[in-house]
Structure 1
Amino acid sequence: MGGAMPNDDLVRDRPPRADAAAPPPSAADVAAEAPLNATSAWLQGCLSQLEEDPARAHAMAQIRRAESTGTDRVLANHCLGTAASELGLWDDARTAFAAARAETPAAESRTRARFGALAGNAALAGGDAAGAERLLIEAEADARAARASLLEAIAATDRARALVTLGRTDQALAALDNATTLVPDRAEGWLLKATLLRRLERLPEAQTAIERAATLAPSNPAVGLEAGVIAVLTGRDAAARASWQSVIDLAPGTPEAATATGYLAQLAPAPDIAVPTPEETPPP
């Protein structure tokens, strides 16, 4: 999603974003945390294979899953889901992560939360917002049981995306309120909150949220894009121009920079400041 809400029209009649089909970035946040028995030599080998040949890792994991039980099968599903995500096979990824959660002991609530969040993320990337919501509700419950605030915030953030897709914006805002309360120093929650508040035409609140996101992630181009949109909708064209230019300067060649260039083209040119001639210069 590139940090924005689905189906978000930032500036009227803008061209579609080139990265609109990209999966939500929070999966990387979840996957970065260690899975069950992270020192497993087989798991490390399978995951390391992802960079060179994700299709081979996918095949390795399928074979391993068919031949194993217990923890080994959980680890096989982990690698299978990760490889499927790399290949854009979102249904396969969802099935693998959901199976990993189901086969993880009930006492391992933190690990169940991790796999549940990944399953919900895959469902969301695959276009099943309703299914994603169900999976992410379970992930949030597991995270609360484990007192894992970051995992709960990640799941709540993705659930907000799903709720926006389903047209339930009030519930989405409540999910983002929870996410930013749980982990107030995570910029993504504030960015999405600003985007949703702006879409609800609650611009003063949107401005407060985007300022918080900018404080936490000043070099994030998605934050600069949204800050410019909020600025232009509140009649502050100069601030919008500065925000979008900063995106181009900080992240040249990226989809965000291309979008910022398009936004700038929609603004009227900055007024020129006339320099008086000597004859026009008033006396001291």
Structure 2
Amino acid sequence: MFALLAAAAAAATVVPPAPPSQAEHSARGQRCAALAKRDPARAIDEARAWGIAGGGMAARQCLGIAQAAQEQWPAAAATFEGAAKDAQIGQSPMAVVLWMQAGNAALAGDEPARARAAFDKALSLPGLSNEMKGEVYLDRARAGVDVNDLPGAKADLAEATKLVPTDPLGWLLRANLARRMNDLPLAFSAIRQAAALSPSDPSIAYEAGNIAAASGNIADAKAAWTRAAQTAPESNAGKAAALALQSGEAPVKP
């Protein structure tokens, strides 16, 4: 009897382990994200086990990253969206990043309308730096092109290049879309900005050739395509430039 009472008293004094600190969550999240790159299947198991153990938003974020690494795009988008909604309800600063990740997963999974909705959620929340906001507008523009909202995409790219003027990709995409919309003055202006920021990029040289060809300047077009083909012959841009040199014109929809 006394032994049972002593055991009960000892059990009553057991202190439950303290919940993991934010630093511990962060460290485990970094390990899980690194595992997702090496072995996404194991990372999915790790993230689910972590979630059961109280990993919360960080565990769900890692699950989405691992699903994306396996190109399980709808599942990844759903994971990020669910976590983002809960983070938003809890007023967690993670909500912004989770909505951005949800949008990128949907975009990769060929669901541009779903992607734009996620990007809109991210843009509606506080906490985005100009650089992050510029990235969201750039990705939103890609989704806009995919849903055939070219004017909306054009406005998004204008905002992206205003917020992150040193990113050559934003200027390249703006030049490409302007050419497709037959706004050649803007296309020339944007591609010059892109080339000034990244003069050896074959994609920029290829697009410069396309814009020159669209304006009827075949000599300048061939010179730009030659630069692209010689700079990176095995790249997509280099191969496309080589084909353009053979045919004498750029594809209708590059």
* Residue of structure 1 in register with 2:129 after alignment: 148
Larger Rg: 2
- Which position in structure 2 is the counterpart of 1:84? 67
Match of 1:160 among 141, 146, 156: 141
Q: Is the CA contact (8 Å cut-off) linking 2:25 and 2:58 kept in structure 1?
A: no
State the alpha-carbon separation in 1 of the partners of residues 204 and 230 from structure 2: 14
Match of 1:185 among 153, 166, 179: 166
Opposite residue 207 of structure 2, the aligned amino acid is: E
Q: What are the ranges of 5 or more consecutive residues in structure 1 without an aligned counterpart?
A: 1-35, 269-284
Name 1:257's counterpart in structure 2: 238
Q: Tell me, in whole angstroms, the C-alpha distance in 2 between the residues paired with 1:37 and 1:140.
A: 27
Write the mapping of 1:57-206 to structure 2, written as runs, cut at 5 A. Answer: 57-65=43-51, 67-69=52-54, 72-104=55-87, 107-109=91-93, 111-142=94-125, 145-206=126-187
Rounded Cα–Cα distance in structure 1 between residues aligned with 2:172 and 2:227 = 17
Instruction: Go from structure 1 to structure 2 and tell me whether the alpha carbon gap of 1:224 and 1:68 turns closer, same or farther (over 3 Å shift).
Output: farther
CA distance in 1, matches of 2:98, 2:218: 44
Deviations 1:117-164 (A, max 9, x none): 11111111111111111110111122xx22511111111111111112
Contact (CA 8 Å) 2:106, 2:115: kept in 1 or not? yes
Unpaired runs of 5+ residues, structure 2, are 1-21, 250-254
Over the aligned positions, Cα root-mean-square deviation in angstroms equals 2.1
How far did residue 38 of structure 1 move? Answer: 8.6
Offset at 1:198?
0.5
Is this contact kept in 1: 2:104–2:115, CA < 8 A? yes
Question: Are the aligned partners of 1:38 and 1:44 in contact in 2 as well (CA < 8 Å)?
Answer: no
Runs (4+) off by over 6 Å: none
Alignment of 1:248 with 2:248, yes or no, is no
Letter in 2 for 1:237: I
The residue that corresponds to 2:212 in the other structure is 231
Q: What TM-score does the superposition give when structure 1 sets the normalisation length?
A: 0.74
Q: Distance in 2 between matches of 1:195 and 1:257?
A: 16
Q: TM-score of the superposition, structure 2-length normalised?
A: 0.82
User: % of aligned pairs identical?
Assistant: 34
- Higher relative contact order, structure no. (Cα contacts within 8 Å, ≥ 6 residues apart): 1
Quick one: which amino acid aligns to residue 157 of structure 1? L
Conservation of the 8 A alpha-carbon contact between 2:32 and 2:47:
yes
1:221 alignment counterpart:
202
Q: Are the equivalent residues in 2 in contact too, given 1:210–1:226 (CA < 8 A)?
A: yes
